């Protein structure tokens, strides 16, 4: 992985361990890497299913899914944010546009919950577009390249159990 992706991955992993001490058999498993995008899964043990799934890009965008739902996060190592930041994250992908309220932040990351009804349309729009725009508060928009993202976001959605809008889904040998 490139250095920017490593910084984002370290920030993402840091957000996993906020809840408590790490266990010796915990694992971060790479799922896919394509273009500037990477997907990983966190497992509390070698035999447990993933409890957190993430897809991230070098430009600082991160999707995180756990039992509570899907979050959209922006990481910027140049930020020095205070606690309890209020504001929004606006996303524009082709004709799909949505604004999400910031629900959590660290000194260099803001996070918004993505409502269940927005998840599938957002990823469907991403699958068809070449780039997306993410605006945090009143900052200048960040253009996120979607080159290579479909392979990674497919792995993320599979990990998180998110149904895809694919018109030609793959076969499932377990059904």
Per-residue pLDDT tens over the stretch 14-29 = 554 444 555 566 888 9
- DSSP label at residue 155: H
What CATH class is the domain 3-160?
mainly beta
Mean pLDDT of 52-68: 95
Whether the Cβ atoms of residue 131 and residue 143 lie closer than 8 Å to each other: yes
The DSSP bridge pattern shows strands 142-145 and 131-136 to be antiparallel
Range 38-57 average pLDDT: 92
pLDDT at res. 106: 96
Model pLDDT, residue 17:
42
Where do the structural domains in the chain lie, given as residue ranges?
3-160
pLDDT of residue 45: 85
């Amino acid at each position: 992985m490139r250095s920017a992706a490593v910084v984002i991955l370290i920030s993402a992993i840091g957000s996993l361990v906020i809840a408590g001490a790490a266990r010796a058999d915990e694992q971060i498993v790479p799922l896919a890497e394509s273009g500037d995008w990477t997907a990983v899964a966190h497992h509390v043990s070698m035999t447990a299913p993933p409890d957190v799934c993430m897809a991230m890009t070098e430009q600082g965008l991160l999707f995180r899914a756990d039992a509570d739902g899907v979050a959209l996060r922006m990481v910027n190592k140049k930020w020095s944010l205070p606690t309890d930041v209020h504001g929004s994250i606006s996303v524009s992908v082709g004709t799909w546009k949505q604004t999400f309220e910031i629900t959590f932040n660290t000194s260099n990351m803001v996070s918004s919950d993505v409502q269940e009804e927005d998840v599938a349309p957002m990823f469907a729009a991403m699958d068809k577009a070449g780039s997306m725009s993410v605006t945090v508060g009143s900052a200048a928009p960040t253009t996120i390249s979607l080159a290579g993202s479909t392979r990674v976001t497919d792995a993320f959605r599979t990990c998180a159990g998110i149904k895809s809008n694919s018109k030609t889904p793959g076969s499932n040998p377990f059904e």
